[in-house]
Amino acid sequence: MRVLLFGPPGVGKGTQAKLLSEELGVPHISTGDMLRAAAAGGTDLGKQAKAIMDNGNLVPDDIMIAVVREVLAGPRAAGGFILDGFPRTLPQAKALSRIFEDLNIREFKVVNINVEDEEVIRRLSNRLVCPKDGHIFNAETNGLSREEPCPLCGTPLTQRDDDREQTVRERLKVYHGTTAPIIHYYRAAGLVLSVDGTGSIDVVNRQIKLMLQDSHPA
Ligand code: AMP
């Protein structure tokens, strides 16, 4: 099973990717998580990426393409993957096609999750993350506030630096201007399955699984 998860920031890609990864037994590969890990580790890539991410902009294509090529060619992705956060530009989409050709990967699906911008802003301003285990919570629906302990492990919850409202608006601008148009690249190849992301986590998860089952095996 090879799936590209597509959609605006805050649509629930990470949450859905984690669920699918557990249910389908394939790794969740998130370029955002990889960059945040590099930033936390203080590597050169991490330092460079952190400043860009905090402004809501995109890390340069050549860096991202090299990172994704390495992980997809490695043993972790050999049995399939849920790719979350890549591609985000047309050059990345074209490079991914070349990577798939090189790795002899012929079948994959693109799951496109949609929600309105106002809902994205509401969700991201309420998003809290456990810095220890990466679990994601919603302050509103889970009845939690910032700095409250993670209900699962007790570590104080934090907000992602790029979830501040100004940065979210910039991320949405970048999404609509640069990332959303590449869905046409995949639509032309008949690979896109579209899901309404406004329902509950469970409802969206079920919809995605049904669509993946109904489509040809990927
Ligand atoms: P995400 O966790 O997917 O929302 O990604 C967080 C941030 O990481 C984005 O706002 C970008 O700054 C950066 N990023 C993640 N994936 C990519 C990518 N494929 N191309 C460029 N920048 C990326």
**pLDDT tens sequence across 41-87:** 999 999 999 999 999 999 999 999 999 999 999 999 999 999 999 99
Find the CATH number of the domain harbouring 85.
Answer: 3.40.50.300
Q: Please tell me if the CB atom of residue 10 comes closer than 6 angstroms to any atom of ligand 1.
A: no
Is 160's C-beta closer than 6 angstroms to any atom of ligand 1? no
Beta bridge partners of residue 80, listed in sequence order = none
For residue 216, the model assigns a pLDDT of: 59
Is 173 a member of any domain?
yes
pLDDT digits (tens, 9 = 90+) for 107-130: 999 999 999 999 999 999 999 999
Identify which of 37, 36, 18, 40 has the alpha carbon closest to the alpha carbon of residue 27. Answer: 18
Task: Cite the DSSP H helix spans in the chain.
Answer: 13-24, 31-40, 44-54, 61-73, 90-102, 117-125, 139-142, 165-174, 183-187, 201-214
Q: Which of 27, 40, 24, 8 is nearest to 161 (CA)?
A: 40
Is 149 within a domain?
A: no
Q: Please give the pLDDT value at position 147.
A: 82
pLDDT band at 97 (very low <50, low <70, confident <90, very high): very high
Instruction: Tell me the pLDDT of the chain averaged across its residues.
Output: 93
Entry pTM: 0.89
Q: Is 32 in the pocket of ligand 1 (CB under 6 A)?
A: yes
Among 24, 48, 28, CA closest to 38: 48
- For the chain, how many structural domains are there in total? 1
Tell me whether residue 109 is one of the annotated catalytic residues: no
Rounded to the nearest angstrom, the distance between the alpha carbon of 123 and the centre of ligand 1 is: 17
DSSP string covering 119-145: HHHHHHHTEEE-TTT--EEEHHHHT--
What is the pLDDT confidence band of residue 214, given thresholds at 50, 70 and 90?
A: confident
Mean pLDDT for the stretch of residues 26-39: 95
CB-ligand 1 contact for 16 (6 Å cutoff): no
Is position 40 within any domain? no
What's the N-to-C CA distance of the chain in angstroms? Answer: 5
Nearest CA to ligand 1 atom 2: 32
**Is residue 187 flagged as an active site residue?**
no
Q: Which residue range(s) make up the domain with 104? A: 2-26+79-116+169-215
CA of residue 115 to ligand 1 center, whole Å: 18
Q: Is residue 202 in some structural domain?
A: yes
Model pLDDT, residue 217: 46
Residue located nearest, by CA, to atom 9 of ligand 1: 53
Is 157 part of a structural domain of the chain? no
Residue 182 lies in a domain: yes
Is the CB–ligand 1 distance for residue 127 below 6 Å? no
Q: How many angstroms separate the CA atoms of 2 and 66, rounded? A: 19
Residue 11: inside a domain, yes or no? yes
Residue closest by Cα to atom 12 of ligand 1: 53
Which residue out of 2, 36, 88, 109 is catalytically annotated? 88
Residue 176 lies in a domain: yes
pLDDT at position 16 over 50: yes
Dihedral, 130, 57, 68, 127 alpha carbons, nearest 10: 20
